[in-house]
């Protein structure tokens, strides 16, 4: 069976935004930006043309959905965040127009300027972006703050799925939980080793507890890395529903309002657990390029773990095409 492969969390970077993020005062700078400079990551991130397509061909990926690297524009002052969000969205839209059979894109939003978020989401959607990628915190504002409810209303109305991507925890949280080793171990613990994922899971769980999906039942959210730990803790998280006065259990929201991606973690054990708590209709392929670069052989081997061609096709492309309205 020929399998169409859509990867939905494939990162890129805009040099102007990288420069602006690098100029943020040291105490507020996102140290995970260092990962963009490792190896040939910067070259791969900046390539929205032939080099990226060649990498896709080598992996057997038919369509990549482009998304900026973390932390997007969220650490920037409101005016800068708005200007650079618009610029990045225009660059990504142009890349899609140049290669419409290979690329789609997720918008980035000026979350530090809440009054401008819904408007930029709408503008980006009109230029062809199929969804958006945000982070759990912008300065002192958390994603479930009521100031963002207009954004979630707009995302629901426009049919724009919201991908909540990990970001480095706040300085206060890092000081309390993620320091005390050498600098690189501190950073690894706060990012890919643990902190990124707990931060994203907490942001998603707070949205549930805030009643976001009761107010916007059609809103769809995407979580990477097999659900950022939430799928593995639903037995305990469900106990929060009664306390918070929710209409349904946390598990029910996860099965009806959340899609889960692999982020390049092609581990059959993780797949089997995900299938035990949600359905194959909620699982989507992604590689987290260029930070993860599974080979075509590794991808094919993982696809062989699905019980049927129908399940395999849902995971590899049909679910993504349906969620993002892709005519592939």
CA torsion angle for 278, 324, 71, 95 (degrees, to 10)?
Answer: 150
What is the structure's pLDDT at 221? Answer: 98
* Contact (Cβ atoms closer than 8 angstroms) between residue 328 and residue 313: no
Place of tokens 């009521």: 146
What is the structure's pLDDT at 294? Answer: 96
Burial of 2 (0-12, 13-18, 19+ CB in 10 A): exposed
- φ, ψ of residue 162 to 5 degrees: the values are -110, 115
Length of the chain: 328
Angle at 232 between CA 314 and CA 142, to 5 degrees: 95
CA dist 176 and 75 (Å) reads 21
The β-bridge relationship of strands 141-142 and 137-138 is antiparallel
**Terminal CA-CA length for the chain:** 17
pLDDT in tens, the chain (328 residues): 678 999 999 999 999 999 999 999 888 889 999 999 999 999 999 999 999 999 999 999 999 999 999 999 999 999 999 999 999 999 999 999 999 999 999 999 999 999 999 999 999 999 999 999 999 999 899 999 999 999 999 999 999 999 999 999 999 999 999 999 999 999 999 999 999 999 999 999 999 999 999 999 999 999 999 999 999 999 999 999 999 999 899 999 999 999 999 999 999 999 999 999 999 999 999 999 999 999 999 999 999 999 999 999 999 999 999 999 998 7
CA dist 304 and 266 (Å) reads 11
What is the structure's pLDDT at 285? Answer: 98
- Would residue 288 be called left, alpha or beta, if left means φ above 0 and alpha means ψ between -120 and 50 degrees? left
CA dist 256 and 221 (Å) reads 10
Q: Which residues pair with 259 in a beta bridge?
A: 222
Alpha-carbon dihedral sign for residues 195, 255, 61, 73: negative
pTM comes to: 0.96
What is the structure's pLDDT at 1? Answer: 62
CA dist 254 and 268 (Å) reads 21
């Amino acid at each position: 069976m020929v399998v169409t492969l859509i990867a939905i969390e494939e990162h890129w970077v805009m040099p102007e935004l990288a420069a602006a993020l690098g100029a943020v005062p040291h105490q507020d700078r996102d140290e995970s930006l260092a990962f963009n400079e490792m190896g040939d990551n910067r070259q791969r991130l900046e390539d929205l043309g032939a080099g990226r397509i060649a990498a896709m061909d080598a992996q057997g990926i038919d369509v990549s959905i482009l998304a900026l690297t973390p932390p997007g524009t969220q650490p920037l002052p409101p005016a800068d965040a708005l200007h650079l969000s618009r610029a990045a969205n225009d660059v990504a839209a142009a890349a899609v127009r140049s290669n419409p059979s290979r690329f789609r894109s997720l918008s980035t939003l000026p979350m530090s300027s809440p009054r401008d978020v819904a408007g930029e989401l709408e503008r980006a959607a009109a230029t062809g972006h199929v969804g958006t990628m945000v982070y759990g915190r912008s300065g002192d504002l958390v994603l479930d703050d009521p100031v963002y409810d207009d954004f979630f209303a707009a995302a629901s109305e426009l049919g724009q799925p919201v991908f909540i991507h990990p970001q480095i925890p706040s300085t206060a949280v890092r000081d309390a939980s993620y320091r005390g080793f050498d600098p690189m171990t501190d950073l690894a613990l706060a990012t890919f080793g643990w902190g990124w994922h707990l931060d994203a899971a907490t942001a998603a769980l707070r949205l549930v507890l805030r009643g976001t999906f009761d107010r916007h039942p059609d809103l769809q959210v995407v979580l990477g890395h097999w659900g950022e730990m939430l799928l593995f803790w639903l037995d305990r998280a469900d106990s929060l529903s009664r306390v918070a006065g929710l209409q349904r259990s946390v598990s029910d929201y996860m099965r009806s309002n959340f899609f889960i991606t692999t982020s390049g973690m092609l581990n059959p054990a993780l797949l089997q657990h995900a299938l035990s708590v949600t359905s194959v209709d909620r699982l989507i392929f992604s590689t987290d390029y260029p930070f993860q670069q599974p080979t075509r052989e590794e991808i094919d081997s993982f696809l062989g773990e699905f019980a049927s061609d129908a399940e395999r096709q849902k995971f590899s492309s049909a679910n993504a095409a349906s969620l993002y309205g892709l005519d592939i």
